[in-house]
Structure 1
């Protein structure tokens, strides 16, 4: 897939490169096509990247939609949200009608009470007739009103269940939309949201760490053994990371062989120990084909992290963690580095270029 060139030392404009690639392939600039090219560009799904590139310059909209269906299923954001919106509007309209009917019923009952009171005060009837009539009228009206109320409660319950189902479907859509299809952990989209939330409140704790991790020499693995093997290794690496951090830690795949961990409530020393636990676990994990006997390992990982108290915003936190990761790579790989003042890097990736 062709991309626009970027002058050395400058941060690439992702949107411009994606637009350029779409224009080069003659692809219509519509949201669902942009989503395909965006996911392919950031490398979150190598298979999608390869299949999209294989379409060449003659990709039809049907072929693009088929890819979208294959990799994103029926969970395209616009369609799901539009459908959910329509259903919610319908259910709310039904609830309003029920409330109106209940109001009318109560107004009728109130009117009937007033008429009964007038009859009781009437001097033209005997006391027995008055009471008999009043009791008969009120008994029937109260029974009707109670029955109507029970029906209303039942309908409200049904509507509530239907709206709860819509909510569950939207929650499921969000889970799928925020999950990396290959590794089954959070994807770049979910990472962007979680990273931004670190600085959402003034009560932000300085004991939040952003860890960026990168598999060492992964391109060589892909070139030597092929992408299918690389994909299996990525999935295993994700499992190793997830298994060696606390359950409440946020773990995401943010790019091709890049991962991120957000850890709350630990000191820098404790975060370093957690990173080392992940690194050692990965280094000792066997990567061997049981059928052919080919050994793909050892697989190692470099990690860099920074504490949120040492940055003013998500962009700075990302940049400093990335610098620490760069230093870990530059120092020989397969190690963890904590960001310190004085670390420098000629080029740092900006977190903001990935935000959509």
Structure 2
């Protein structure tokens, strides 16, 4: 009876198909999963392979169950998002899906596309990168050509001058030789002027290119609304700060801060007011920013802070001071002049160097944030207290 109901269940059918696909990726069939216990070495290798296959099978079962539970199409995009959510491979995807599930209880194909688009919003487009790189290559090629031309001209002039000098020493009547030397020198001077003009023009183009690249870099690494660095910039800063903290033997702590009930703010007062709230909170957090405290917008209504030289407990106190400051503010909706409900944020803090992988520290801070939300909001939790 149980077997019949399982085979009739589309969820199990999808999971089975995914499992078979996983086997195909591993290059092994069911028969190859059996272990010959008469050969210990092969048995151990087979057992390890068997465990790996089981792990994959379980993951693909979970992905299939997730896709079926939310009636998602079996597409590479949905499959990849489900994988990132279930494994935690991409913290941004994991957080976005969890937020949608907490709010709506389910997720759709359209919402998956929105989440992926948001995760990629800060990326420089391939077209823009291709255009910039092509221009760089063009300028470098032109510079190389000009330098080669200049060297060749100087070399040719030197050789010609040397020949004329030889002739000058051998001849009694030097006037024709001198005339040729003057003509040759004038030609060289004119050629040099042309090359210098081209170099000056190329230098102007290169300067404009550097400016464009700098603007593109700023656009790619800053949030256009708040002016703070974005998630892409933060990830680069995190790598640098981890290396620096380890080198100098300093503490390093990270905090996730998320505005409470932000959807209610948008729904009640409109997105323009929501944007102003984001900028206001960003400004309060940015006041703590210096060469040892980095603040960035991680996405949506969430911000991230990185503290070098502070323990997680000290970072927790620093974040809590900002939280208290915000909680005492009385904000006004500029559209209608009405006072808004108190705006607050919740936060989670963790010790980055307590984990082998910085991503694990981010997840620990994120779990602390989640519990702060779950336990009433408008509070800061330290990961060590909740893990």
Partner in structure 2 of residue 329 of structure 1: 373
Q: Does the 8 Å contact 1:244/1:277 carry over to 2?
A: no
Distance 1:100 1:228, change over 3 A: closer
Q: CA deviation at 1:260?
A: 0.5
Distance 1:206 1:324, change over 3 A: farther
Distance 2:317 2:251 in 1: 15
Distance 1:148 1:265 in 2: 60
Distance 1:245 1:142 in 2: 61
Q: CA deviation at 1:330?
A: 4.7
Q: Does the 8 Å contact 2:258/2:301 carry over to 1?
A: yes
Distance 1:291 1:216, change over 3 A: closer
Partner in structure 2 of residue 34 of structure 1: none
Partner in structure 2 of residue 195 of structure 1: 238
The yes-or-no answer on 1:318 pairing with 2:362 is yes
Distance 1:303 1:253 in 2: 14
SS of equivalent to 1:203: helix
| Aligned residue among 203, 215, 225 for 1:182 | 225
Partner in structure 2 of residue 91 of structure 1: 139
Q: Tell me the TM-score normalized by structure 2.
A: 0.62
Higher RCO, 1 vs 2 (CA within 8 Å, ≥6 residues apart): 1
Distance 1:149 1:228 in 2: 59
Partner in structure 1 of residue 281 of structure 2: 237
Q: Does the 8 Å contact 2:251/2:311 carry over to 1?
A: yes
Distance 1:176 1:194 in 2: 16
Distance 1:184 1:306, change over 3 A: same
Q: Does the 8 Å contact 1:198/1:204 carry over to 2?
A: no
SS of equivalent to 2:372: helix
Q: CA deviation at 1:143?
A: 4.1
Distance 1:172 1:165 in 2: 11
Distance 1:169 1:21, change over 3 A: farther
Q: Does the 8 Å contact 1:214/1:259 carry over to 2?
A: yes
Distance 2:364 2:76 in 1: 35
The yes-or-no answer on 1:145 pairing with 2:193 is no
Q: CA deviation at 1:227?
A: 4.1
Partner in structure 2 of residue 283 of structure 1: 327
Distance 1:193 1:220 in 2: 33
SS of equivalent to 1:241: helix
More helix by share: 2
Distance 1:134 1:209 in 2: 79
Q: CA deviation at 1:225?
A: 3.9
Partner in structure 2 of residue 168 of structure 1: 211
After superposition, the CA RMSD in angstroms is 4.2
Distance 1:91 1:262 in 2: 39
SS of equivalent to 1:192: helix
Partner in structure 1 of residue 167 of structure 2: 119
Distance 1:209 1:327 in 2: 18
Task: Compare CA radii of gyration and give the structure with the larger one.
Answer: 2
Distance 1:12 1:299 in 2: 37
User: What is the 5 A alignment of 1:207-222?
Assistant: 207-222=251-266
- Residue by residue, what CA displacement relative to the aligned partner does 1:151-207 show, whole Å, maximum 9, x if unpaired? 323322321331232222122122223333433323333333333444457637543
User: What is the 5 A alignment of 1:1-356?
Assistant: 42=96, 77-122=125-170, 125-126=171-172, 129-130=173-174, 132=175, 135-199=178-242, 203=247, 206-246=250-290, 249-268=293-312, 270-290=314-334, 292-340=336-384, 343-344=386-387
SS of equivalent to 2:307: strand
**Number of positions where the alignment pairs a residue of Structure 1 with one of Structure 2:** 295
Q: CA deviation at 1:220?
A: 3.7
SS of equivalent to 2:356: coil
Q: Does the 8 Å contact 1:279/1:335 carry over to 2?
A: yes
Mark the runs of 5 or more structure 2 residues left unpaired by the alignment.
1-57, 78-91, 98-106
